């Protein structure tokens, strides 16, 4: 049999965490060195440059959205086939989807270069911030294909029971990124472009290692002669559309945050939003890492029609997420001022804005974990439609409503409150969907 031993073991908290912890550590570390990027930029260049990084984020999320869709949706399709003992087709589909990602990467890179100057010119930014935006994104786009491969290889390493290798790659890439941040920005005087190049090189580590790993026939998944099955591409797109929707609408909501802050506070408000997003991203990475870690197990048990293991895994997952939620809320409240002070000094107007905003936004951490897991669970169960409804409602519909209504009533505090209220609404919807499909999947 080609299936990995981990899928045959009993579903216990210990076994589940052994499988998921490397992925959690990997996503936490990746979010950590994204924060380090902001740390170097804000302290060595200034908060205007930090604002620019946030203003470029929606375009970067747009560039990677399709890859995210194919990576998460494709992983569910492929691991389901592995659970059905159809390894040959799984490897052919894997190779095919990687080739599609390379083509998408080249296309999105070209589109990004053609569009970026027009986008930033229409934002009425100061000359300095607009220049930072073009400079950062222009260098970041060079690494589009390696970054898309990194997104894919990360998930496929986890599915191939190589989560530890994925963690090692992330750590190596993160350390390299942090070192190069200092070397390029402070040493070589490259400014914000140095931060973009350092990030691109750091992300490329997983892409390079993945090419070698998946070229080996010893790997559970490996490159072979691809079979161009459009149905597989459609299934991957359908299953992963929620993750793509999340990436797309996150970019849209980020733009809304930025525009609203520019209207109410100015560019200092954009810098404050950036700091809070770093904190939320760091906490959310725990949930994302866990969901990515257990997704192959959910897909495998579903393909195997093992409802007993599927049910146990879902119960264990809810307990883990509940525990993480309480811990992250407490930690975020207690560490608000130290966290914000890393990016902005107390005499900087950004500081007070970010402290207030973080304390309000922290309440969202009670619900984010359950919402992320619910969407990821339905993707793993090959129900991309429900997953997309959950992700789109959470990331766009509810956020859009709250971003329009609450600032009109509460001003700047309404901007911060939009996130926890939207996450609460999404949590209610997730609970409804969970019980609606409980009998169908037997979890």
Burial of 226: CB neighbours in 10 Å, binned 0-12, 13-18, 19+: middle
Q: Half-sphere exposure (CA, 13 Å, Cβ side) for 76? A: 32
pLDDT over threshold 50, residue 2: no
Please indicate whether residue 251 or residue 344 has the higher confidence score (pLDDT): 344
Please indicate whether residue 398 or residue 277 has the higher confidence score (pLDDT): 398
DSSP-based three-state secondary structure for 323: helix
Q: What is the pLDDT of residue 246?
A: 65
Q: What is the pLDDT of residue 3?
A: 42
Lowest mean pLDDT among 61-75, 241-255, 358-372, 422-436: 241-255
Burial of 338: CB neighbours in 10 Å, binned 0-12, 13-18, 19+: exposed
Q: Dump pLDDT digits (tens) for 203-230.
A: 899 999 999 999 998 888 889 999 888 8
Q: Dump pLDDT digits (tens) for 106-147.
A: 998 898 888 888 888 877 788 888 899 999 999 999 999 998
Average pLDDT score over residue span 368-384: 90
Q: What is the pLDDT of residue 350?
A: 84
**Rounded mean pLDDT of the chain?**
86
Query: 113, 160 in Cβ contact below 8 A?
Result: no
pLDDT over threshold 90, residue 429: yes
Closest CA to 296 of 401, 156, 397, 125: 156
Average pLDDT score over residue span 360-367: 93
Query: 287, 326 in Cβ contact below 8 A?
Result: no
pLDDT over threshold 60, residue 199: yes
Q: Dump pLDDT digits (tens) for 348-358.
A: 888 888 899 99
Work out the pLDDT band at 103, boundaries 50, 70, 90: very high
């Amino acid at each position: 049999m080609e299936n990995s031993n981990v899928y045959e073991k009993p579903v216990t908290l210990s076994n589940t965490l052994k499988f998921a912890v490397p992925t959690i550590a990997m996503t936490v570390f990746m979010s950590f060195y994204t924060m380090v990027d902001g740390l170097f930029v804000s302290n060595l260049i200034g908060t205007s440059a930090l604002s620019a990084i946030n203003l470029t984020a929606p375009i970067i999320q747009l560039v990677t959205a399709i890859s995210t869709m194919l990576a998460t949706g494709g992983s569910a399709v492929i691991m389901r086939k592995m659970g059905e003992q159809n390894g040959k087709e799984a490897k052919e589909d894997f190779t095919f989807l990687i080739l599609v990602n390379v083509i998408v990467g080249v296309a999105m890179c070209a589109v990004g270069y053609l569009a970026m100057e027009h986008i930033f010119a229409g934002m009425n930014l100061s000359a300095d911030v607009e220049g930072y935006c073009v400079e950062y994104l222009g260098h970041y786009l060079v690494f589009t294909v390696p970054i898309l491969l990194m997104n894919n290889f990360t998930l496929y390493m986890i599915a191939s029971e190589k989560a530890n290798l994925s963690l090692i790659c992330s750590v190596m890439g993160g350390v390299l990124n942090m070192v190069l941040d200092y070397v390029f920005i402070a040493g070589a005087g490259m400014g914000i472009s140095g931060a973009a190049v350092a990030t691109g090189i750091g992300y490329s580590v997983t892409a390079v290692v993945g090419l070698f790993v998946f070229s080996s026939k010893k790997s559970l998944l490996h490159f072979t002669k691809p079979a161009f099955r459009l149905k597989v591409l459609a299934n991957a797109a359908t299953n992963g559309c929620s993750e793509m929707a999340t990436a797309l609408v996150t970019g849209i909501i980020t733009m809304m945050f930025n525009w609203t802050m520019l209207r109410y506070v100015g560019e200092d408000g954009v810098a404050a939003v950036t700091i809070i997003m770093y904190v939320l991203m760091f906490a959310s990475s725990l949930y994302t890492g866990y969901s990515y870690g257990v997704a192959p197990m959910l897909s495998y048990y579903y393909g195997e029609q093992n409802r007993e293991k599927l049910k146990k895994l879902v119960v264990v997952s809810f307990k883990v997420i509940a525990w993480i939620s309480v811990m992250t809320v407490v930690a975020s409240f207690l560490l608000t001022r130290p966290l914000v002070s890393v990016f902005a000094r107390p005499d900087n107007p950004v500081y007070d804005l970010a402290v207030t905003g973080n304390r309000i936004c922290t309440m969202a951490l009670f619900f984010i974990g359950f919402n992320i897991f619910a969407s990821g669970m339905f993707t793993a169960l090959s129900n991309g439609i429900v997953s997309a409804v959950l992700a789109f409602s959470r990331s766009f519909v509810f956020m859009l409503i709250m971003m329009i209504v609450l600032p009109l009533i509460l001003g700047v505090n309404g901007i911060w409150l939009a996130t926890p209220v939207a996450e609460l609404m999404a949590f209610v919807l997730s609970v409804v969907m969970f019980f609606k499909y409980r009998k169908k999947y037997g979890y």
